[in-house]
């Protein structure tokens, strides 16, 4: 990576009341310093930069650790290197769809939950996504509060599974 080019994907971490952006080189040490409750890791995938950035800013305020990807192909590369609790992805993206990304995620790790976002309400896409293992299907324009509440339901479900596994 040369100077003048922003490293991608970027990691957005919430530290105290201030959001900070850390590039790949600084991520590991910064994330280790965070408490376990703040380490819910989300991969946010959307080809629309405005939506991706505004949703990332909103979710960072709730203490999530976010990595953003511009498309499904970039997300697949990131998933090979990092572990996530949740993937939040658009369905309609160039070249590789969100449905294909969902299948890839489930092949890698069945425990990773996926929330699908779509700019159009087509019940066939929702059914297909749910059959492939999506946790939920949300239509655009996104209600960020609804997304955040859905993420909290995913987090609670995963915490319950972890607790049950201990017993």
pLDDT at 128: 85
CA–CA distance from 111 to each of 33, 117, 133 (Å)?
Answer: 25, 19, 10
Which residue carries 């080809």 as its tokens? 47
Distances (CA, A) of 97 to 35, 56, 91, 102: 34, 20, 6, 9
Express each pLDDT in 16-63 by its tens digit: 333 333 333 334 334 444 444 458 999 999 999 999 999 999 999 888
Q: Give pLDDT, residue 106.
A: 96
How do residues 84-113 score in pLDDT, each as one tens digit? 999 999 998 889 999 999 999 999 999 999
**pLDDT at residue 8 in the model:** 40
Alpha-carbon distance of 69 to 47, in angstroms, equals 8
Q: Are strands 113-118 and 11-15 parallel, antiparallel or unpaired?
A: unpaired
What torsion, rounded to 10 degrees, do the Cα atoms 31, 112, 42, 103 define?
Answer: 130
pLDDT at residue 127 greater than cutoff 90 = no
């Amino acid at each position: 990576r040369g100077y003048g080019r922003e490293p991608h994907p970027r990691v957005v971490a919430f530290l105290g009341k201030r959001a900070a952006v850390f590039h790949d080189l600084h991520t590991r040490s910064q994330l280790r310093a965070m408490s376990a409750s703040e380490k819910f890791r989300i991969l946010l995938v959307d080809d629309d930069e405005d939506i991706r950035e505004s949703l990332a800013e909103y979710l960072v305020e709730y203490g999530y650790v976010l990595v953003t990807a511009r498309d499904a192909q970039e997300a697949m590369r990131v998933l090979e290197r990092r572990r996530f609790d949740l993937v939040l992805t658009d369905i309609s993206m160039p070249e590789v769809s969100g449905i294909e990304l969902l299948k890839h995620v489930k092949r890698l790790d069945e425990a990773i939950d996926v929330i699908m976002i779509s700019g159009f309400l087509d019940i066939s896409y929702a059914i297909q996504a749910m059959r492939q293992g999506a946790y939920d299907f949300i239509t655009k324009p996104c209600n960020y509060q609804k997304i955040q509440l859905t993420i909290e339901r995913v987090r609670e479900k995963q915490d319950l599974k972890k607790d049950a596994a201990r017993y």
